[in-house]
Amino acid sequence: MNEIFNTLRDKFPFLSLIKKGDLEYVGIVQNEDANVISFYDYGRLMMPQDKMKFLKCGETWWHESNRKLPINIFLKGEFRYFRSTLVTLNSKDVEILHGPTVKLSEISKKRLKRRTIQLVRRPT
């Protein structure tokens, strides 16, 4: 599958190649954390029109979002159709060979690091 994926990744940079044991998956990562990784498995789509819609949604998410939000949150109802392709695996058993991942925990960490500065007037 690696050879096939090399041609796909240039045209569709939002796709990730995920390996679990001897199995390889191609899809869009919804969220990755220390315990689990959830992704939408492109290989579960059978109908050509579903595959095209999946790739078009991926392109929209890739080019119009900041890529920090998962695709299902960014596209809301439009991507709900692909809920049946969602796969959740144990992170310890999985290796991401190529492609982007989304980590919701990073968003909250960045917000926690921000400091607020309050200006106080001294009485004269």
Distance linking the first and last C-alpha atoms of the chain: 74
Cα–Cα dist 28/74, whole Å: 13
How much is the pLDDT for 17? Answer: 92
Return the domain boundaries, the chain: 2-105
pLDDT band at 4 (very low <50, low <70, confident <90, very high): low
How much is the pLDDT for 117? Answer: 63
Q: DSSP state, 13?
A: T
pLDDT band at 111 (very low <50, low <70, confident <90, very high): low
How much is the pLDDT for 58? Answer: 93
**Closest Cα partner for 92 from 20, 18, 1?**
20
Q: What is the pLDDT of residues 20-75, one digit of tens each?
A: 999 999 999 999 988 999 999 999 999 999 999 999 999 999 999 888 889 998 99
